[in-house]
Chains A and B, each alone.
Chain A
Amino acid sequence: MIDLALIPDGGLSWLDASGPVSNIVLSTRVRLARNLTTFPFAVRGREEDRRRVLEQVDRVWQRSPLSKGGMRFLVDDLEPADRLLLHERHLISKELASATGHGGGRSHAAVYLAGPLGLMVNEEDHLRLQVFHSGFALGTAYADLERLDRELGAALPVAFHQEFGYLTACPTNAGTGLRASVLIHLPGLVLTKEIAKVLQGLSQVGLTFRGLYGEGSEVVGNFFQLSNQTTLGKSEEELLDHLGKIVRQVVTYEEQARQVLLRDAPTIIEDKVWRAYALLRYARSLSFEEAMNLLSGVRLGVGLNLIPRLSVYTLNKLLIYTQPAHLAALDVRAPKDQEQRAARAAYVRQVLEDEAARAG
């Protein structure tokens, strides 16, 4: 049994809302996909292949100064609940979280965590490097990731093709293997009904959007993940620069939409955000979706300075800790549905009460 409480910062240092524009852009994630030439990719790899891939990566990781203070988990050794917990923190993919292990699923899959850096081994690709930063920080996030990439590249036989670049199991990731995404909160554009136009525009400039949990997930609480759609034909710098430009533009639209709301419907907006706060503060039962939507309202209120003395950090924390696996971890009885809603409401009440008491 592995104690996830030992992970420094819980692997959630990005929650602290210290990064640029962190009121609107919660976090920046960049990932790189890499494979080794010497073994088949995951779908065709045998257990022995995966074991040897992991062995090679282990050696490099242990020597690396970047791994200092970090941790390594074998996905097989994690309880299903802990895998879900790591998934809710965006530290492992859904694929690894739901793998059954021991012959049936993905044996020898591992995850390494060190500060903002993460490395998944034996996922769809042999290596999935990722970095999380608070706020809108594409440049610094990528700089961190590049250090890890160079170390791995200098020591491992990474598959590279002169024309196609880095080779990946799925051709949609080939070339740079880079997917950069920002988790962005856009209630202003949703309320002013401008969001469809913005999202439509994104696909025309080679970007895509997803929900809170990435591929295939639904949009809840007005949180969107914006990321690059293509990975080949442009340099890493160009891809990041392009995404950065568009995100800056979306942030500006969002700010404008919020100003329009404040100007044209100040009472309605004020009422909306305080109602959201009141429900979170006093409700006795909250579904995940309801909690997300109310948190979105309160976050808007904090962003517009309508709700004083409530930090963005607290809101970020609530976003993560009110998810099902996190609630289950709080309560050993692993509450189901109705109990879970009550547990969620109790947790949110406690956090908001503490915050209000601290603010005096």
Chain B
Amino acid sequence: MLCDNCSEREAQIHLTQIVNNSVTTLHLCEQCAAEKGVETGASVAKFPLGDFLASLGKTGGGEQAEVAPGVACPFCGGTLKDFRETGRLGCAMCYTTFEPHLRDLLRRLHGSSRHAGEQYAATPGAPVPESPAETGSREVGDLREKLRRAVEAENFELAAELRDRLKVLE
């Protein structure tokens, strides 16, 4: 099948979207998909956790602070190596200890690292503190959200623009 956009290359990416209760499928080649700012789905959809964990050490958190190898969580003693082996974190504080790595991982798993859901009126436990890198990442989070909406609405021009802005920030 040829790409719906350029009608030249073989379509590799089949983007099924549900807009106003009707399903539309867009068949795109990789190049056109990238130009239109379509994430290949692999970043949000099924993706084996093992691959993520294995890639954690290699990609790191970009410009964010790296967790030095061998750093152990002060609460449970768990390390990133433990996490990579078991796929499970040791305690709530691990999320703060390995924050840059986890932010990156959560984004790739869920397409976002920013919780948008409920929060108890008053959590009796001490909330886990935010890191100073927060402010920048919030802007990134907002942009990602806008990008997601733009792709959903098939507004590919806007999506491409947002993707470029994200690239600069990240």
Contacts and interface: CB of A to CB of B under 8 A. Distances in A.
Interface of A: 35-44, 124, 146, 150, 153-167, 169-172, 174-176, 178, 200-201, 203-206, 208, 229-236, 238-239, 245-246, 249
Contacts of A36: 92, 125
The B interface, classified by DSSP as helix, strand, loop or mixed, is: loop
Contacts of A41: 76, 88-92
A161 to B, nearest CB: 4
Interface stretch (B27-35, B105-113, B158-166): B105-113
A124 B88 contact: yes
B152 to A, nearest CB: 10
A233 B96 contact: no
A169 B89 contact: yes
Interface string B129-140: 110001001000
B143 interface: no
Contact of A40 (B45, B91, B137): B91
Given A41-B91, A230-B111, A234-B117, A161 B106 contact: no
B168 interface: no
A37 B41 contact: no
A39 B91 contact: yes
B59 to A, nearest CB: 15
Given A167-B128, A232-B110, A160 B102 contact: no
A232 B117 CA distance: 8
B20 to A, nearest CB: 10
B124 to A, nearest CB: 5
Contacts of A157: 123-126
A206 B45 contact: yes
Interface centre among A146, A150, A158, A164 (most CB of B within 10 A): A164
Contacts of A39: 91
A176 B44 contact: no
Interface in B1-50: 14-18, 21, 23, 25, 41, 44-46, 49
B127 A160 contact: yes
Given A171-B109, A203-B46, A150 B120 contact: yes
Contacts of B128: 37, 159-162, 167
A233 B122 CA distance: 21
B88 A245 contact: no
B64 to A, nearest CB: 13
Given A37-B93, A175-B106, A230-B44, 16 more contacts: A37-B92, A44-B76, A44-B91, A124-B88, A155-B124, A157-B125, A167-B89, A169-B88, A170-B88, A175-B115, A200-B14, A201-B16, A229-B45, A233-B110, A234-B117, A239-B117
Contact of A235 (B78, B93, B109, B116): B116
B16 A208 contact: no
A171 B124 CA distance: 23
Contact of B120 (A158, A161, A201): A158
Interface in B58-94: 75-78, 82, 86-93
Given A171-B105, A233-B110, A160 B117 contact: no
B86 to A, nearest CB: 6
B77 A153 contact: no
B90 A43 contact: yes
B44 A167 contact: no
Nearest to A229: B45
B118 interface: yes
Among A170, A174, A176, A208, which residue has the most Cβ atoms of chain B within 10 A?
A174
A153 B120 contact: yes
A279 to B, nearest CB: 36
A161 B96 contact: yes
B88 A233 contact: no
Contact of B117 (A171, A176, A205): A176
Interface in B136-154: 137, 145
Nearest to B144: A233
